[in-house]
Amino acid sequence: MIRSLAAVMAVALVTQAAEAAEPVVYSGSGPWQMDYDKDSCHLARKFTHQDQQLVLMLNRMDTRASVEVQLMGDVVSGTAHGSLQIHVQFGLAEPPVSVPASYGVSAHMSVLTFQVGDPLETALPGEKHATWRVPSHRDPKQDGPRRNAITSIILHTDGMPAVRLETAAMGAPLAALDACMDDLMKSWGYDTTTMIEAVPAESPAQWIDPGDFPRDPLHTGQQAKLSFRLDVAADGRPTACRITGSTVDPEGKFAQATCAALMRRARFQPLRNEAGQPTTGWFFSQVRYVVPSP
């Protein structure tokens, strides 16, 4: 079955959030809205404070115990553009954490985007052109109580006043996100009763090297983060690659380079089911292309 977001709001890398003024409280406005995309699930809700409005969106594109979070609204516009750190606390029972975030604009709205869960970033050997996010593992039995204990989310970063989103118990909304991923897996042809998640035969950092960085984006300093999935045969070789999401790739150059490299180099351990019989499977991950500092 799908690895649900057991403790999706608990991040392994725990740091102390920066001291800030008392958060501005935003109340939920309307119900959570679920959007089924062909490659991802999106759970969104509006929050208001006086005449100010924020939109919180939780995105899942794979089966890992992590989620992409997007915070949209005018209050976000004062944050530093580019890369920054955001301090987050999911419910009073969870520790505050600090994670990397990025600022952007979508549909004329300011957007902060960050990842929570247990993504492990591994730099490519040599020049730091790309980093990988590797799947994390959680115990689904702990999901319900921890999710229901999350009734608010506090966020703070430089240039943005601390805000507290009154979400109410997150158990039911996150369960809906799980159900969406179950449905997507079936639509992709992944039978979780007979197929398994593929395990890399070596570090994924060996699958893409600096020479794979598309030439034109490299020269212009363009960076990108892409999510992908691979179909994997019983012998551990990928049979198909699909880019399921990307930050910036209007001409598809990052997508083309990524899938070409993955199909050529990605290798997995032979896939066997519980009975020891050969089976097929899948693999999800992300790659971030980073232009080295001069």
pTM: 0.73
Give the pLDDT mean for 14-40.
78
Same domain, yes or no, for 169 and 225?
A: no
Tens digit of each residue's pLDDT (9 = 90 or more) over 163-205: 999 999 999 999 999 899 989 999 999 998 899 999 999 988 8
Same domain, yes or no, for 213 and 163?
A: no
Q: Is residue 218 assigned to a domain? A: yes
Q: Is residue 78 assigned to a domain? A: yes
Same domain, yes or no, for 87 and 218?
A: no
Q: Is residue 4 assigned to a domain? A: no
Q: Is residue 162 assigned to a domain? A: yes
Tens digit of each residue's pLDDT (9 = 90 or more) over 268-280: 999 998 889 999 9
Domain that holds residue 233: 196-289
Q: Is residue 173 assigned to a domain? A: yes
In this prediction, residue 65 carries a pLDDT of 66
Same domain, yes or no, for 229 and 267?
A: yes
In this prediction, residue 93 carries a pLDDT of 75
Give the pLDDT band of residue 42 (cuts 50, 70, 90).
very high
Q: Is residue 132 assigned to a domain? A: no
Same domain, yes or no, for 241 and 210?
A: yes
Say whether pLDDT at 230 is over 90: yes
Residue 205 region by backbone torsions, left for phi larger than 0, else alpha for psi between -120 and 50, else beta: alpha
Say whether pLDDT at 267 is over 80: yes
Same domain, yes or no, for 279 and 208?
A: yes
The number of distinct structural domains making up the chain is 2
Q: Is residue 56 assigned to a domain? A: yes
Same domain, yes or no, for 180 and 218?
A: no
Where is mean pLDDT largest: 25-34, 57-66, 96-105?
25-34
Same domain, yes or no, for 34 and 168?
A: yes
Where is mean pLDDT largest: 116-120, 221-225, 262-266?
262-266
Same domain, yes or no, for 49 and 151?
A: yes
Q: Is residue 14 assigned to a domain? A: no
Same domain, yes or no, for 166 and 81?
A: yes
Say which CATH number the domain at 251 has: 3.30.2420.10
Higher pLDDT, 278 or 15: 278
Tens digit of each residue's pLDDT (9 = 90 or more) over 124-161: 333 334 444 434 444 444 567 888 889 999 999 888 88
Same domain, yes or no, for 167 and 227?
A: no
Same domain, yes or no, for 209 and 173?
A: no
